[in-house]
Structure 1
Amino acid sequence: MGGPNLEVFKFGMYIMFPIGIMWYYGTNLDNRFSVPDFWPKPEQTYKIPFEKEEIHSELERLRQRRLYLREKRLEREARMEQRRNEEEAN
């Protein structure tokens, strides 16, 4: 059998191995596990309007967008209905 030196070595390995792993993966985390340009820059983020005029202009922009998307959807549905009618006629 091994003796006391082997037991001391095993105990040292049991203690030092997890500490070494934690030290290796715990140092320099910003450079090791970071993704460049992951977070948007402040000028790329959405600015919440606080002034009354800004709120009204934003509401108008959203209304125009909603109406544009509705118009496109209605056109698409009309084309699909027309195709269905043509297929039924044939």
Structure 2
Amino acid sequence: MGGANLELFKFSVYIFFPIATMYYFGAPEFYDSHVKQRPPTTRDEILIEIEKLKAKKKIRETRVENSNIV
């Protein structure tokens, strides 16, 4: 029905897809951004996270205020 070209395409997909998946999910950047991040557990870590969130919120608010001025 499909011939040799279809079989070649299917074979290449069967080979390429697992390799691409291993390459993407096995990369250190993926691990650092998705797996290593844990919620803070100690009081000091929690306070540091709260300060980071407050700083991000302040930056976001100033951007909104500046965009409303223009």
- Shorter-chain TM-score category? 0.5 to 0.7
Q: How many residues align?
A: 50
Greater percentage in helix: 2
Indicate which of 46, 49, 61 corresponds to 1:55: 46
In the TM superposition, what whole-angstrom CA distance separates every residue of 1:43-82 from its partner, at most 9, and x where no partner exists? Answer: 3332211111101110110111011110011011011xxx
So what's the TM-score if we normalise by structure 1? 0.46
2:24 pairs with 1:37: yes
Q: What 5-or-longer segments of structure 1 have no aligned partner?
A: 1-28, 80-90
The structure, 1 or 2, with the larger RCO (C-alpha pairs under 8 Å, 6+ apart) is 2
The equivalent of 2:65 in structure 1 is: 74
Amino acid at match of 2:47: H
Stretches (4+) displaced over 3 A: none
In the TM superposition, what whole-angstrom CA distance separates every residue of 1:14-69 from its partner, at most 9, and x where no partner exists? Answer: xxxxxxxxxxxxxxx8x66322223621x333221111110111011011101111
% identical equivalent positions: 16
The DSSP-based 3-state class of the residue aligned with 1:33 is: helix
Amino acid at match of 1:37: Y
Q: What 5-or-longer segments of structure 2 have no aligned partner?
A: 1-13
So what's the TM-score if we normalise by structure 2? 0.57
